Amino acid sequence: MSFVTVEQKGHIGVITMNHPEVLNALNSQTLHDLSDALDQVERNDEIYVVILTGAGRAFVAGADISEMAKISAIEAKKFGALGNEVFLKLEHLTKPTIAAVNGFALGGGCELSMACDIRIASEKAKFGQPETGLGITPGFGGTQRLPRIVGVSNAMELILTARVIKAAEAKEIGLVSHVYAPEELMDKAMELANAIAAQAQIAVRQSKAAIRRGMQVDIATGAAYETEAFGLCFSTEDQKDAMQAFVSKQKLDGFKNR
């Protein structure tokens, strides 16, 4: 049985964490299923943007504590390495990713959302890194991504106190971009995904890569990445068509993505 499903809606791929009986908790099998789902959407040239969400009342409630409670330090290190490997694969996906956080996003669930490029949330969503309350640290990138997204002070407070916050506070500190009524969340996610899919996809992917790379390096190195991406776009038909249409005051009839 797969705990992760993939559905294609036009140029949008929807990955759903689908083990609602345990609030989509992450065990080894779920992580392997997610890895396979990411490979599937990466290979599909007709998918331009990916939405990641959860079935039932949780996005992902965390890692599977019943599994973790039984493992040794060596096994825990391997489990953490697996989670980080899969989440880095998600972060490095060439296609933009949107986390549509429908419910609990705790521990590994919060870390999963942070590996996506954009996060939007339902009013019912809750976020947190409660690991210190279980005697452990975050293990799937929480200590690294949370301070990069919300700042060191906010990240320290959330991780060191194990406090869980509601969607409104998550938006206030910049963890999510928008908060919507539960019944609107997926429609808004699709609206955002389609707005991205309507742009020139080579430029979209080069922009994502430049942002992701630039966040890990000094600004001079990041600017060099941007210069390479900027120049590459001038070798595309999309750039020539779009700029010619702009100069001619004509409406461009979509992109060729080449």
Q: What's the confidence (pLDDT) of residue 1? A: 52
pLDDT of 160-215, one tens digit each? 999 999 999 999 999 999 999 999 999 999 999 999 999 999 999 999 999 999 99
Q: Indicate which residue of 46, 75, 85, 111 is catalytic.
A: 111
Q: What's the confidence (pLDDT) of residue 29? A: 94
pLDDT at 226 over 60: yes
Q: Is 131 a catalytic residue?
A: yes
Secondary structure of residue 110 in the 3-state scheme: helix
For 215, other C-beta atoms within 10 Å of its C-beta total 11
pLDDT of 56-91, one tens digit each? 999 999 888 888 888 999 999 999 999 999 999 999
> How far lies 214's CA from each of 199, 221, 229, in Å?
22, 7, 12
The mean pLDDT of the chain is 96
Secondary structure of residue 62 in the 3-state scheme: coil
Q: Is 111 a catalytic residue?
A: yes
Domains of the chain: 4-197 (3.90.226.10), 201-247 (1.10.12.10)
Supply the angle between the helices 219-233 and 201-214 in degrees, to the nearest 10: 170
Q: Indicate which residue of 21, 67, 131, 172 is catalytic.
A: 131
Distance, in Å, from the CA atom of 164 to the CA atom of 158, rounded to the nearest integer, reads 8
pTM of the model: 0.95
